[in-house]
Amino acid sequence: MASQAARRGGVMRPPSSGVRAAAARSPAASFLLAAAAVAALVGGFYFWLVVSSFRLPDSGDAGCRPDGEGSWAVGMFYGSSPLALRPIELEGRSNGNSSAWPVANPVLTCATATEAGYPSNFVADPFLYIEGDTLFLFFETKTTTSMQGDIGVARSFDQGATWEFLGIALDEAWHLSYPFVFKYENEIYMMPEGNKKKELRLYRAIKFPLEWTLEKVLVNKPLIDASLIQFEGYWWLFASDFTRHGVEKNAELEIWYSNSPLGPWTEHKQNPIYKSDKSLGARNGGRLFVFEGSLYRPGQDCSGTYGRRVKLYKVEKLSKEEYKEVPVNLGIDEPKKGRNAWNGMRFHHMDAQRLASGAWIAVMDGDRVPSGDSTRRSLIGYIAFLLASALVIFVGFMKGAITCYIPSSLWVPLTRRTELPRIFSVHRFNQKVRRYSTSISRYISAAKTKLGEKTWSNMLFFCVVALFTIVNVCIAVHFLYGGNGAEEAYTYQGQHSQFTMVTMTYEARLWNLKVFIEHYSRCESVREIVVVWNKGNPPSSDAFDSTVPVRIRVEEINSLNNRFRVDPLIKTRAVFELDDDIMMTCTDLEKGFRVWREHPERMAGFYPRMIDGNPLQYRNERYARGKNGYNLILTGAAFMDSEFAFKTYWSEKAREGRDYVHKNFNCEDLLMNFLYANASSTRTVEYVHPAWAIDTSKLSSVAISRDTQKHYDIRTDCLAKFSSIYGPLPQKWEFGMREDHWDK
């Protein structure tokens, strides 16, 4: 075959060159595939461990989608003074129809408008109009159809605990917001911001609250967030004009005055009052109000991000020639839960008004993400993905280069000898190429030799590159698939609520408790954490890193019955009993709370068991899975109605069971299940599948039940005892019966 090639005048290539070329491709391709597979596995694991805990928007929802302007919502506040307001959840207002004991902020969200048939991404800039015992709330709602702000309106008959979305009060061809509503000479007016129209318009209600007509243009300037107040004989207009020369956006304030809110308006001599420094609260943050004879103005601190917080100013001088204000304490506790709080990142608007009773009521908007967050998260995610891809390709190329064979014929095309001298210029060009290729080959060979050495430095190099790749994969997954990065609470019947966490521990498990409290206090619906201290010297409440109150309840005797002791200081109906050695995501807690609120007469928990057999035998969750059902929920991680559960547990009929629990130091959760079953002929337990849960007792030597078989034997005896006293447990309920699949 070789002689035939020579006779045809061709140049014979080494027969093994094709094999070597294929071999050169194989390591690189194999490494690329392996690296991609590892990155995918790491990304999937990270998604399961961390990102799955974030609440993601439902792709079927028409509203409440990620929006660059934020995810604003509205909350209610009450107090005897506008300088000492408290959120609705601290006022004890309840709604049994939504199992909200108590109702918690936010009371109005994008879901309120969306579920009423007006898809919205957020609601903001709330203004109250009070008519007797009825509250009307006007606000900006960013509709998903036009992606611009319209003015929505809602109504409440119970002082703001529940709201009915009535519809869109005002819709123009341009963006509308900041619907300042007021009454003047028996007419109701609205002065919304519409600066895209480059004028400040006044509308009058012709059929309140949904029909309005243009009354007049007050000022031919693109004024932003304009507020009116009648004070000391004049009407004063506070607003911002960011088109004024030499002013910084969100840092300008100007004042106008008139004898009537209908105008004409005259500019204040000191205009602009502010023109720089966005942190000073120049831009209005809601309605001005008078308290004890003094005028107060809420403004927006826009440092760091738009609408970072409301700042309150007391006006000391206001005349046609002078204006002076000084900052005062807003009187509202700032949120501490970050993105897990509805107003954790921003709250930029407040409308406080005095009721006929003399008490004060206020609405405030808030956001759990900073301005532009969705765009920023997408950008970071895509950049991380590109970096991870580039690193995989780079390492694959380097690995392939180590074993790659490059024949000299690749650099210069081989031709017949008779053709080489045919064209002199081509010959000279080939010589230059050969000379340069020889130099390049020498450098490549040196690099291959260096990289091919199995040294610690080479291994470290590739490990570092692999680590950076994995980090970038995790970052990409986190920012592209992690929603807004918050573990949000779920609503039921359009309302939020709160629960109290109760855990039982003692001195030897203090390290567990500190981690426990630091983590769970950040969950949005947690109102308070009660620590049942069974033994040893109790710590101070100040010893914990907590965003909610921590109460140490010291018990006189060391008994498992203390977990369910009646506690009149608990302010919520819902109690979440959780062992101090169980760690799970806040989102799973919020799911469990939502399930409990659907049926507050049941226990809702995360650890199912199937109790059956003759005699009854205690088995683990694997047995329940094999039976595809459960009839008992461990109360070491379960929601229950504190009023019913605790009183029932400490009733006279439960005395014999309590004595047995105290004697054996076990089975308090089994007793609670029997008591529930004895008190009802319907379903008593509900299971919620957690994304993941970690039992930290495996990391310590102080677990109560380290001998599993002995623990199970004791619990089997408990089943026999309790069934003889309180009757049988119900038949099983199958897994996967919920439409949301939270019980699979």
The answer to whether the CB of 552 falls within 8 A of the CB of 572 is no
The answer to whether the CB of 251 falls within 8 A of the CB of 276 is yes
DSSP sequence for 38-69: HHHHHHHHHHHHTGGGSPPPPTT-SS----TT
The answer to whether the CB of 104 falls within 8 A of the CB of 498 is yes
The answer to whether the CB of 661 falls within 8 A of the CB of 621 is no
Measure the CA–CA gap between 60 and 58, rounded to whole angstroms. 5
Q: Which long-range contacts (CB under 8 A, 24 or more apart) does 4-9 make?
A: 9/416, 9/418
Q: By CB neighbour count within 10 A (0-12 exposed, 13-18 middle, 19+ buried), where does 56 fall?
A: middle
Residue 543 DSSP code: G
Quick one: residue 651, left, alpha or beta (phi over 0 = left, psi -120 to 50 = alpha)?
beta
Measure the CA–CA gap between 463 and 594, rounded to whole angstroms. 45
Residue 669 catalytic? Answer: yes
Measure the CA–CA gap between 54 and 12, rounded to whole angstroms. 64
- Tokens 């807004």 belong to which residue? 484
Q: Which residues contact 262 (CB under 8 A, 6 or more apart)?
A: 184, 202, 215, 216, 218
Beta partners for 286?
Answer: 350
Tell me the residue type at 588. Answer: D
**Could you tell me where the beta strands, DSSP code E, fall in 555-703?**
574-578, 582-584, 603-605, 608-609, 632-633, 637-641, 685-687, 693-695
Quick one: residue 176, left, alpha or beta (phi over 0 = left, psi -120 to 50 = alpha)?
beta
Count the alpha carbons within 13 Å of 372 in the hemisphere toward its beta carbon. 6
Closest to 194 (Cα-Cα) out of 219, 175, 173, 169? 175
**Could you tell me where the beta strands, DSSP code E, fall in 344-388?**
346-354, 360-367
Measure the CA–CA gap between 561 and 683, rounded to whole angstroms. 24
Residue 568 DSSP code: T
The answer to whether the CB of 407 falls within 8 A of the CB of 17 is yes
Measure the CA–CA gap between 660 and 109, rounded to whole angstroms. 49
Measure the CA–CA gap between 378 and 479, rounded to whole angstroms. 6
669, 717, 740, 743: which one is catalytic?
A: 669
Measure the CA–CA gap between 662 and 658, rounded to whole angstroms. 6
Measure the CA–CA gap between 222 and 119, rounded to whole angstroms. 28
Measure the CA–CA gap between 94 and 493, rounded to whole angstroms. 13
The answer to whether the CB of 141 falls within 8 A of the CB of 123 is yes
Beta partners for 294?
Answer: 291
Our CA angle for 648, 654, 658, nearest 5°, is 115
Q: Do strands 499-505 and 603-605 pair parallel, antiparallel, or not at all (unpaired)?
A: unpaired
Helices (H) and strands (E) in the chain, counts: 13, 33
Measure the CA–CA gap between 240 and 278, rounded to whole angstroms. 12
Q: Which residues contact 740 (CB under 8 A, 6 or more apart)?
A: none
- Positions marked catalytic: 669
